[in-house]
Amino acid sequence: MTVQGDNAELVKAQYRAFTRQMPMMYFILLSSTWALALTHMGLAPHWLTLGVPSVLSLGCLLRVTFWFRTRNVDPSPALAHAALQRTNRLAGGIAVAFTLWSFALVPYGDAYTRSHVAFYMAITVISCIFCLMYVRSAAFIVTLVVNGAFIAFFVSTAQPTFVAMAINIALVCAGMMSILLTNYRNFETMVVSKQRSDALSDENFRLANLDSLTALGNRRAFFAKLEAELEKARVGGRRLALGVIDLDGFKPVNDLYGHSVGDRLLVNVAKRLSETLKASTAFRLGGDEFAIIAPFPPENDQLVANANTIAARLGEPYQMPEGIVHISASMGIAVFPDLALSCEELFDRADYALYHAKKRQRGGAVLFNADHENKINVDARIESVLKQADLDAELSLVFQPIIDITDGSLIGFEALARWDSPTLGRVPPTRFIPIAERAGMVCALTRPLLRKALAAARTWDSPLRLAFNLSAHDLNAYDAVLAIVGIINGSGFDPQRLDLEITETALTHDFAQITHAVETLRRLGCGISLDDFGTGYSSLTRLHALPLTKLKIDRSFVTDLHQKPSSYKIVKSLLALSADMGLDCVIEGVETKEELAALKTLGGSQVQGYVFSLPLTAEAAGALAAQSARPLGKFAV
């Protein structure tokens, strides 16, 4: 006989269903009441036929107005429960009022009018039971009040017709209450089932948007949140900042300690990231890439300072059972509406800023700015022209001599790409090659360049070698590797005099495919050089896994070598490492005699750089190759 409030969703469902039924119940009640009043006009006093129905109608209209105003309201569980409890109390009062008014009309009129009173009470309570179906307690109260009084009153008349009607109504109401209970249980079961289904759906949605390892939002959740926050920022006329984070040195941790340690490291990174953030939200996009959405960013200078603080916190040593792990975190930042107006632009610009952070400010944060915007536009122009270029005609090569400084002899040349565009003029390789890699068309550059390099090298006397750079994209696909093999086999140049150079960053791609590609080229007879050694994150495990023949020390360690003790020690260690691994070692970027003297002291032998020669045209390289074949063809060292 009371409204249960232990299930909030059930209470709200009762409230919504009941709200839709109330206007109909009051319409039936009022129309039946005035019909009964009209049949007693002139038979009963005016206060019974006009006064009382008017007062009852006013009360009903007030309730109809209340329910009409709240028909579209989504109430809280507490509000819905309170409204249903109030209805429960009013149901008893209204039932008593209408019942007493009905009985007050019985003494007036003949048998027909008294039968109308009986009919009114019977049919009205039946309609009310149906309308009160979703508030079971109210339906029971109305039934007990009206039908209890109805049955008792008409049985007490001892008039056979009225007694029969009372018994009939009692049986009908008993059957209807049974049906009401069944329907209510079905309604309750449906609501509970929907509640469980919604809970399961919500849980599935949560899991679908959750990174199971770190418990941060995943890539799907990130883009949904970014879209929502961007719309809020657009409507509110405020800024929104996005930071994209990449961990520097994470892959060697995986290689050295295994993926289980790498996973635990990611969990610790996520924990630090969450603890560091205040009003911002962190996500894991995949691998070792994370993102931060800051809905209320400070001014740019403070924003970058905060980002650097986060990066510094993530770069602090991690104490693991296997040992202390050192990584760093680079971050790219973009701000709406500064140079980014959509989710795609915001993410792309943050990612572009991250690229610059990893390249020039590793372990720190870079904010996307107008210079980056201009560079994107220039890069887009270069990419567009490159896609339409006649690569065979526009691409050319120059050749950088590689010297053995122990005796000054020429070892060979490294082929370096050049692009002379009729539209853009000469474009440096440091610009167009990264653009070609990002555009996925670097393989289209590699093939004509390799053919031209092999054609030029075929004129050199043995044993001069040719070094040629391959992109990771050249090794990532089986078809691309077969194309390279076909070009080498068809060139007429001895593969055993060819050194194919790959960078350390290539090893961060599909290592299994890279290994297979390198082994294929090695079986062909080609040498395999690891270029820019020391600037990436190659682990010794991966170095041993590849059939390398040579390491190339990056020029960043060679510049002012004689004045930088740290660079001197690094080069010394790398030379010792290559010797221990049985690999040749080429030192590139040597530009001064002082650097050359320091390298000789360290025991370096194979060197290339401007201290000997600028890159040469194919003709000049051929002439130098011919000169080196003569006994006096030596470089002064």
Residue with tokens 């107008």: 370
What pLDDT is recorded for position 508?
59
CA atoms within 13 A on the CB side of 341: 0
Residue 155: Cβ-neighbour burial (10 angstroms; 0-12, 13-18, 19+)? middle
Q: Could you write out the three-class secondary structure of 42-53?
A: CCECHHHHHHHH
Other beta carbons within 10 angstroms of residue 494's beta carbon come to 16
What pLDDT is recorded for position 184?
75
What pLDDT is recorded for position 497?
94
Say how far apart CA 335 and CA 356 lie, in whole Å: 16
Say how far apart CA 16 and CA 520 lie, in whole Å: 71
Which tokens sit at 166?
């009372």
Say how far apart CA 60 and CA 357 lie, in whole Å: 72
CATH superfamily, region 382-628 = EAL domain (3.20.20.450)
What pLDDT is recorded for position 525?
93
Say how far apart CA 295 and CA 229 lie, in whole Å: 7
Pick the CATH number of 219-368 from 3.30.70.1090, 3.30.300.30, 3.30.70.270, 3.40.50.1820: 3.30.70.270
DSSP string, 471-528: -HHHHHSHHHHHHHHHHHHTT-S-GGGEEEEEEGGGGGS-HHHHHHHHHHHHHHT-EE
**What b-and-e string marks burial along 47-85, b requiring 16 or more CB atoms within 10 Å of the CB?**
ebbeebbeebbeebeebbeebeeeeeeebeeeebbbbbb
Other beta carbons within 10 angstroms of residue 560's beta carbon come to 13
- Identity at 534, one-letter amino acid code: G
pTM of the model: 0.60
Strand, helix or coil at 558? coil
Q: For the chain, which residues make up each domain, given as ranges?
A: 8-201, 219-368, 382-628
What pLDDT is recorded for position 403?
93
What pLDDT is recorded for position 632?
44
Residue 204: Cβ-neighbour burial (10 angstroms; 0-12, 13-18, 19+)? exposed
Residue 184: Cβ-neighbour burial (10 angstroms; 0-12, 13-18, 19+)? middle
Identical topology for domains 219-368 and 382-628: no
CA atoms within 13 A on the CB side of 583: 26
Which tokens sit at 338?
């500064």
pLDDT along the chain (637 residues), means of 10: 67 75 80 88 89 88 78 74 76 82 85 82 77 75 77 77 80 79 79 76 73 88 91 91 90 78 90 87 90 91 91 90 86 90 90 86 87 85 91 94 91 95 91 87 92 94 92 86 94 94 70 86 92 62 77 87 86 89 90 90 91 92 82 58
DSSP string, 319-348: EETTEEE--EEEEEEEEESSS--SHHHHHH
CA angle 485, 486, 488 (to 5 degrees): 65
Per-residue CA distances from 340 to 232, 242, 290 (Å): 15, 10, 20
